[in-house]
Amino acid sequence: MSKLPKSYTFIDLSDYGRPIARTIAKALKNTSITPVQVTIGFIFSGLIAILCILNGNFWAAAFFIILKSILDAADGELARLKNTPSYTGRYFDSVADIILNLLLLLAIAYITNTNIIYTFLAFIGIQLQGTLYNYYYVILRNQANGDTTSRVFENTIPTALEGEKQEVVNRLFAAYKFLYGKFDRAIYWLDPTAVSSKLFPRWFMTCVSVFGLGFQLFIISCMLVLNVSNYIIPFFILFSALIFLFITLRKISVA
């Protein structure tokens, strides 16, 4: 099941793992395994990748990074197949992603002796890139009557859906706001009129999808196996310049 109606789907460069994720979700549909358990699975995959980086096993690290990306898509697919959408899963997934992103960059910084300031700048860059992509994607999903578990503005605690506890939603929402709030506000400040614009064209969303977490992880994996890990952190700092290009492009092409 797609997050968008078929007529609005686009080529998502960050979503290369979706076919395998759907296969995994279908295999788990009639089991007792829950989407949250799949999320825990991608957390372990990410942690193994980090350990592989620290030990210099870059091919193994790349494998587990890509596996993490696939499982990151599989939890949502499983939730849609089982018809069990939840804010618990949505926020848990996001909180896990940002923590793993930070740990991944710290591991890369450690093996490359990169200054912590540059590492922090790369982390901010990666999060702003991902936030811009998610901002546009969620706007599109809401306008096109797609999946609405994610909201354009995460300002209020949502009411727990059937099968989840409000207390858990409250805690995960608080963690999400603490970790993502500043990035969300920064992107909204840069492009506040996006929420009232016309539907984004497919080609535009495909371009912006290079900022999706899946594509970011793919770039890191490629740079690891190509033995150019020294350039990963500088790359993502410079890659952030595209944020302004995409926002300008959005304003020109979609009023």
Q: pLDDT by residue for the chain (255 residues), tens digit each?
A: 456 667 778 999 999 999 999 999 999 999 999 999 999 999 999 999 999 999 999 999 999 999 999 999 999 999 989 988 889 999 999 999 999 999 999 999 999 999 999 999 999 999 999 999 999 998 988 887 655 556 777 888 998 988 889 999 999 999 999 999 999 999 999 999 998 888 888 999 999 999 999 999 999 999 999 999 999 999 999 999 999 999 999 999 876
In angstroms, the first-to-last Cα distance of the chain is: 30
Give start and end residues of each alpha helix (H) in the chain: 18-28, 35-54, 58-81, 87-112, 116-143, 166-190, 202-208, 213-225, 232-239, 242-253
- What pLDDT score does 156 carry? 87
Q: For position 199, what pLDDT does the model report? A: 85
Q: What is the pLDDT of residue 127?
A: 98
Burial class (CB in 10 A: 0-12, 13-18, 19+), 177: middle
Nearest of 74, 11, 71 to residue 45 by alpha carbon = 71
What pLDDT does residue 210 have?
97
For the stretch 147-157, what's the b/e string if a residue is b when 16 or more beta carbons lie within 10 angstroms of its beta carbon?
bebbebebeee
pLDDT in tens, 51-75: 999 999 999 999 999 999 999 999 9
pTM listed for this prediction: 0.92
Buried b (16+ CB within 10 A) or exposed e, 36-50: bebbebbbebbebbb
| Beta carbons within 8 Å of 63's beta carbon, 6+ residues apart | 49
Phi, psi (degrees; rounded to nearest 5) at 159: -75, 130
d(C-alpha 102, C-alpha 120), whole Å = 8
The two tokens of residue 148 are 């609405």
pLDDT per residue as tens digits for the range 210-219? 999 999 999 9
Contact 83, 93 (CB under 8 A): no
CA distances in angstroms from 206 to 71, 98, 103, listed in the order given: 22, 23, 28
pLDDT at 1: 44
pLDDT at 6: 75
Which of 88, 91, 92, 86 has its CA nearest to residue 162? 86
Integer CA distances (angstroms), 66 to 92, 138, 177, 251, in order: 19, 24, 27, 33
